[in-house]
Amino acid sequence: DCCGSLSIGDLHAGGIIFYLDSTGCGGLVAATSDQSTGSAWGCYQTEISGADGTAIGTGEQNTNDIVNNSCQMGDGLISAAELCANYNDGTYSDWFLPSKDELNAMYQNIGPGNALGLGNVGVFESEAYWSSTESSVGGAFRQNFVNGNQATNFGKGTVLYVRAARAF
């Protein structure tokens, strides 16, 4: 076996595994803590070409598309995507803002969604978190970590929680 036995909820590759691919040797981890308790998605009224990926595996490209657009946030603030792209846990610096489906997997597998019976091992707050999936020039997807509700077209200027992810 190429990687030993990895499981959802394990600490690995700088974070907490919330998704494993079909080989069981690759997947996604969530950072062990939030990157922000209040950041805007940014780029309000600016369409970000390519930042509309929803599936698992699209968060990194969404984040790159947002960061490369260089939207001005005002007041020297940076977007939720930039916060994740700039994050370094001391070992890894290739973090990104998760896509809509990646964020849902965090909620379901290591968050309060508790689909696997692990409990909230990611220690997520009972708040809404941004995804990197844009839905319109003025909105993006966010996920409520109280009830799992994903809202489309949530105002990009709204201040929400942010949790980075990375692939391994």
| 3-class SS letters over 88-108 | CCCCCCCCECCCHHHHHHHHH
Q: Percentage of residues in the chain with pLDDT exceeding 90?
A: 85
Q: How confident is the model at residue 74 (pLDDT cuts 50, 70, 90)?
A: low
Cα 87 to Cα 93: distance, rounded to the nearest angstrom: 6
- pTM score, whole prediction: 0.95
Cα 134 to Cα 13: distance, rounded to the nearest angstrom: 27
Cα-Cα-Cα-Cα dihedral sign, residues 66, 69, 73, 75:
positive
Given a cut of 70, whether residue 2 has pLDDT beyond it is no
Contacts of 79 (CB under 8 A, 6+ apart): 39, 40, 41, 42, 43, 66, 67, 71, 73
- Number of neighbours of residue 8 by Cβ within 10 angstroms: 18
Residue 71, pLDDT score? 78
When the pLDDT of each residue in the chain is averaged and rounded to a whole number, the result is 94
Q: Which one is predicted more confidently, 20 or 114?
A: 20
